[in-house]
Structure formats: C-alpha cells, structure tokens
C-alpha cells in the first residue's frame, strides 16, 4: 500500500517534532535544567 502525500507529510512532521524534543532534552541534560524552567537563563552566557 502506497502512502498518500498527506500521510507522508504527517510522518515527516512527527519525526521532526521528536527530533526537536530529543534536542531539547539533550540541552536540559547538559545544563541540568529544562529550557523553560528558568526564563532568565541564556545559552550564550550573556545576561539581560
């Protein structure tokens, strides 16, 4: 059974969302916190 363009697009979107979540989790693990836990934290190290 071949996929429709819509189902292929949905599968690609899901894969992209999961990749983004893995990236977010890796950053959280690296810095010891979730990205949204401390709004004042900037990855570049500069302060506001």
The string of pLDDT tens digits covering residues 5-42 is: 899 999 999 999 999 999 988 888 888 876 555 555 55
The tally of domains found in the chain comes to 1
Residue numbers of the domain that contains 22: 1-48
pLDDT of amino acid 28:
85
Distance CA 39, CA 48 (A): 11
User: Residue 31 is inside which H or E element, if any?
Assistant: helix 5-31
Stated pTM of the model? 0.57
Contact 24, 35 (CB under 8 A): yes
pLDDT of amino acid 30:
87
Residue 47 has pLDDT above 50, yes or no: no
pLDDT of amino acid 27:
86
């Amino acid at each position: 059974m071949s996929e429709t363009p819509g189902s292929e697009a949905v599968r690609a979107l899901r894969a992209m969302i999961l990749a983004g979540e893995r990236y977010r989790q890796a950053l959280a693990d690296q810095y010891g916190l979730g990205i949204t836990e401390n709004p004042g934290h900037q990855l570049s190290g500069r302060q506001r």
